[in-house]
Chains A and B, each alone.
Chain A
Amino acid sequence: MSASSRFIDGMSRRHFMSHVAGAAALAAPATAFTNSILANAADLKKRHKAAILLWMGGGPSTMDIWDLKPGAATGGPFKPISTSADGIQICEHMPLMAQQMHHMSLVRSMSTREADHMRGRYYMHTGYVPNPNVEHPSYGAVIAHELADQVPDLEIPPFVSVGSGSVGPGFLGMSWAPFVVDSNGNVRNLDMGIDPTRLSQRLEMLSAIEEKFIGEKRGASSDDHAKVLSKTVKLMTSDQMESFKVMKEPKDVQDRYGNTGFGRGCLMARRLVEQGVPFVEVDLGGWDNHADIFKTLSDNKLPELDKAMAALVSDLAERGLLDDTAIIWMGEFSRTPNINGNGGRDHWARSWSVAVGGAGFKRGVVVGETSSDGKEVVTEPYSAQDLMASVLKSLDISLETTFTAKNGRPMKIANAGKVIKELFA
C-alpha cells in the first residue's frame, strides 16, 4: 500500500492536515498547502514554465553527434543525415531525433575552459567556475527558486534529479537541493507505517527540539534541517508522488522511450512536468570514451539517447507542453577532435555543441560554426553563462535577478551571461 493511500484510509486529507497543524514549525507549509488547495482548486491546470536538462555525464563527443566533420582526419567514421529542420544535419545514429529537429536548435560554438570532470560539471551547471569560498546554485536550484511560485499547489520537490544527483543549491540553501530518485521512480523509505495522529504527535515533539536548537543561534544548518523536514512531511503525504511511477504508463508509451534507465528517466520527466515540477534533470552517463569510442557510441550510447530524447520531445510537443518547457542537452565538455591511440577521444572544452529547444527558444536553427577539423570555434564563442542566461530567458525569468550570496555579496543570475541572440526570434 502506498504511503498516501495509507494516510487517507479512514481519514480525510484535511483531517490529517489539521493534526499536522499542531506541529508549529513543520505545520507552516502544510497549512499553506491546505490554503492553496482551497484557493486554487479551480485553477489547478494553470500553465507553468518548466525545464528539463538532459545531462550527458562524462563529456560526450559532440562532433560525433551534432556537428559532424565527414572527411576530416578528425571526423571519425559516422555520416551526417538530413533532419526535419531545413539545413540541419546530425549523426546517422540519431535517426529518431532527426525527425524532431524542427523542435530543437543547436549551438555549435560552445567554448569553455574546464576540461576536468568535476570542474566542468560544476561550471556547466552553475555558470561559475568552482570557487572555494562560495557554492553557486545550479540550474535546477535557480529555476526551481524562480518558478516555484507559479505552482503553489506543488507538494513534491520543485527540483528533481533522476540519476546522478545534479549539482547542489549552493547559497540558495538545502531546501532547494535536488531530490534524487532512481530511474524507476522508486523513492526509498517513504512509508512510516503509523497512523497520522501519531505521526503528527511525533512531529510536534520533533519540532519542539528543532525550535529549541534553532533558537540557540548556532548557525544556518539548523534552520535548513527544519526546512527540509517540513518538505519531507509534505511529500510523504502527497498523492503527487504518483508522478514518479513511470511503470503506470501504458506499455507502448514505455516502449517508445526505451527500456533503459535514461528512457524511463525521460518519461518520468514528462510526468513530473505535467504535475507541475519546474525543473527535472535526467542523467545519461557513460560518455567518458577514452577508448573505443565509435563502437560504444553507435552500438550503445546513441541508440539509447536517440530513442528516449526523441520520444520526450515529440510527447511534449503533442501534449502542448513544449511551448512552456525548455529542453537542454549538454555534458560537462566534449572530446578531442584528435583520435587517440586507443581509438578514443580525450577531454576537450574549446569547441563543442549543445542542443536546446522548447519554451521561448527559436526552433530548427543552428548557431555558430567550428573549423573544418572541429578544433576551433570560428564564429562568436559562447560560454556556460551565456547558455544559462539563454535558458532563463526562454522561461521568461528576468536576467536582472540578483541573488545575495551568504556573505552578502550580490550574485547576478547566470553569472551575468549574455543571451545567445540567434536562439530567439
Chain B
Amino acid sequence: MARHVHSGRCLSKSACLGVHLLIVVCLAAVAPFAAAAREKDEHFGLPEVKFINEQVAAGWSDAKLKPAEPASDQEWCRRVHLDIIGRVPTVRELDDYVADSSPAKRANLVGRLLGDDYIDEYARNWADVWTTVLVGRSLENDNVNRSGMRQWLRRSFSKNVPYDRFVSDLVTATGVNKAGEKGFNGATNFLSGKLEDNGIQATAKTAQVFLGLQVQCTQCHNHPFNKGKQNQFWEFNAFFRQVRALRQFEGTRDVQAIELVDEDWAGEGGNASQAELYYELRNGQMKVAYPVFIDGTTVDSTGYLPAKMDDGTEYGVNRRQALAQLIVDSPLMPKAAVNRIWSHFFGYGFTRPIDDLGEHNAPSHPELLDGLGERFRGQSFDTKELIRWITLSHAYSLSSRIGKGNAADDPAVGEKPKFSHFYLRQMRPEELYQSLLTATEADQAEEKGEKAARKKDEWLSQFIIAFGTDEGDEATTFNGSIPQVLMMFNGDLVKTATGTGKGGFLDRVAASDMTNAQRIDSLYAAALARKPTRKEIKLANQMMVARKGDAISALQDIWWAVLNSNEFIINH
C-alpha cells in the first residue's frame, strides 16, 4: 500500500506537500490492513481481472519468466492516459494521481477516464482508432466521407454503444454518408467505398475486421495454406448483393454524397426468389453461390427484401441484417474484438496479425482469448468494461524496463508475446498530435470536434502513402524514419508547440512566478511525466547561461529537446 506513495516523486511544489502529509496518514491508518488490501488490489474485486492475471501468469511460469517490476506511478499514469484517451496526462492530472494514496487509485483513475469527465476525449480517441480501422487514413477516397464516419463513431463511443450493436449498425447501415444531408447516417461510410466490383472489398473487410478472418485471397482461388475456400468467399459476398450505393453529384463530377439503400435483387440468374451469383474457378468453370455464413449456416436465398403479401404472409430477407445477426452470434466476433482491443493496450494481440484468427494461426494465449471473449459477451459487449479489465490487469501495470527474468520475452524478434514487461511502442500519429496540444495547453484554445479533427487529418496526410490499388492499401512514413524526425525537429506543429509568442505555453511558463528549476521541472512533467536527472538539470542550466538570461529562449531549447526525445514519442 505505502509502496505507491514512495515510488511517486513530487512533480510540483503544491502536490509535494500533500504527498508527505498523506504518507503519514496512510502509514498510520492502513498498515494493519495492508496485506488484505494488497490482495484485493491485485484484481480490484473484479473476477475478470483475476482471470486475466491468472492466465497471463500461467504463461509466465510455462515460459519460466519473471514479470518486470511495476511501472512507476508516473509511467502508469502516462500510459493509461495515452491508451484510453489518446494523449499524455497534464501536469495537474499527473500530480493528482501521484498524490492519491488510495489502494484503489488505479481503478479510480481508470474509472475517471472511462467516465463522464473524459467522455469527449474518450470518444475522440476511439473514433480516431476506428476511423483508421474502418476506412484507413488516406484522404483520397471520394466514396468515403471521413468526417461523417468520425461523427458517427464519436457519437457511438460517447454513448458507449454495446459492441454487438456497433458492429450491426456498421454492417447494415443505410442512409447518406455525409453529415448535414437529409437522411445522414455516418455508419454508411464503412461500406460506401467498398461496394464496387460486386462488393469484393466489403466482403473482405467485414470478415477481417469483425471476425478476424482473412478471406481476400480466396476471392480467386482456395487459400494456399489455410482452410479458406473460394466458395466461402462468394457465399459471404452474396450477403452484400442487395445493397446499392447511389451517388449524389455536385455539378457533374465530384461526388457530393453517397446513399446506401437496400433493394430487391434479382440475382445474376434473373430469378429473384433464388437470387444467385456466379464466380469463376481457376480452370474457368463457373460456380453458383447463395448466402451462406462461414460456419455453414444458410440463409433463404431469396433476393426479395422483407415485405408482406396482400394476404398478410411475410416473405423476403434483408441479407445484410441476416449477416449482422450471424456475425454477432458467432464466437469469432468477441474474440476478434478482444484481440484488437488487447493489442491496442499492449502493442501486441494474441495473434499476429490481430485480424487473422484462422486455424493456421495459433494464438499465444488461447484460453485467455476465448475466456475474455465469453466474458465480453456476458457483459453485454460493454467496451468500457473490457477496457477496465485490461488496464487494471497485472500485466498492464508492469514496467517497460526489461529485467533478467524476462529478457527472453521479446515479440519484436518474432516470439509469441508473454506480456511479462510492457512493450515499447511509438505513439500513433493521432496520439502525438493530441499530446503536443495537451503538453502545450493548446487544446484549450483549439477548435473542438470535427473542425479540430479535420485539421488533424490535414497534418496527418503528410505521412500517408496510398498505393492506388483497388483495395485502398496504404502505408505511413510516421514509422520512426527520417521524415518523421524532420517533422519533429522542424515541422510547423512542433514550431508552434515550441513557440515563444505572447500568451503561448512557453511564455506562460516563463512569466509564472516559478524558479528556473521549477520551470524546467514543469516541462519535464508535461512531456515525460518525470523529473529531470542531475545531468539533465546541469545541461539545462548551461542552456540558461548560454542564452544569457533570456529564459524563454533557453526554455524553448529545452522544450524542443524534450519533445524530440525517444522517451516522449514512445509509449512506455
Contact = CB atoms under 8 A, between A and B. Distances in A.
Interface of A: 57-58, 113, 115-119, 121, 132-134, 157, 163-165, 168, 171, 174, 177-180, 187-193, 198, 201-206, 208-210, 212-214, 216-222, 224-226, 228-229, 231-232, 235-236, 285-286, 288, 290, 338, 346-347, 405-409
B552 to A, nearest CB: 14
Nearest to A286: B468
Interface of B: 197, 216-217, 220, 224, 284, 351-353, 356, 361, 400-402, 410, 412-415, 423-426, 462, 465, 467-471, 473, 475, 477, 479-483, 485-487, 489-491, 528, 533, 535-536, 539-540, 542-543, 546, 557-558, 560-562, 564-567, 569-570, 572
A60 to B, nearest CB: 13
A405 B470 contact: no
A58 B565 CA distance: 38
A210 B467 contact: no
Contact of B486 (A190, A220, A225, A407): A190
Contacts of B465: 163-165, 180
B406 to A, nearest CB: 11
15 contacts: A58-B468, A117-B467, A164-B465, A164-B475, A179-B482, A180-B481, A201-B543, A202-B560, A204-B539, A208-B539, A209-B565, A212-B533, A219-B424, A222-B567, A236-B486
A174 B479 contact: yes
B569 A225 contact: yes
B244 to A, nearest CB: 19
- Greatest chain A CB density within 10 A among B217, B284, B424 is at B424
A236 B570 contact: no
B387 to A, nearest CB: 24
B539 A205 contact: yes
A393 to B, nearest CB: 28
B360 to A, nearest CB: 10
Contact of B467 (A208, A226, A235, A285): A285
A182 to B, nearest CB: 10
A373 B572 CA distance: 57
A208 B535 contact: yes
A290 B540 CA distance: 60
A205 B561 contact: yes
A168 B415 CA distance: 20
Given A209-B536, A405-B414, A164 B467 contact: yes
Contacts of B533: 208, 212
A138 to B, nearest CB: 12
A193 B494 CA distance: 13
A190 B561 CA distance: 17
Given A205-B539, A205-B543, A206-B561, A192 B216 contact: no
Contacts of B485: 228-229, 232
A406 B413 CA distance: 5
A232 B486 contact: yes
Contact of B489 (A174, A236, A288): A236
Given A115-B220, A179-B483, A288-B468, A198 B557 contact: yes
Given A133-B414, A177-B482, A179-B481, 15 more contacts: A117-B473, A132-B351, A133-B415, A163-B465, A201-B542, A201-B543, A208-B535, A210-B566, A213-B565, A213-B566, A218-B570, A221-B426, A231-B482, A346-B220, A407-B414
Contact of A58 (B413, B424, B469, B486): B469
Nearest to B524: A209
A206 B485 CA distance: 13
A132 B425 CA distance: 17
A406 B408 CA distance: 12
Contacts of B480: 174, 177, 221, 224-225, 228
B566 to A, nearest CB: 4
B224 to A, nearest CB: 6
Nearest to A214: B566
A222 B566 contact: yes
A99 B413 CA distance: 48
Contacts of B479: 168, 174, 177
Contacts of B217: 115-116, 119
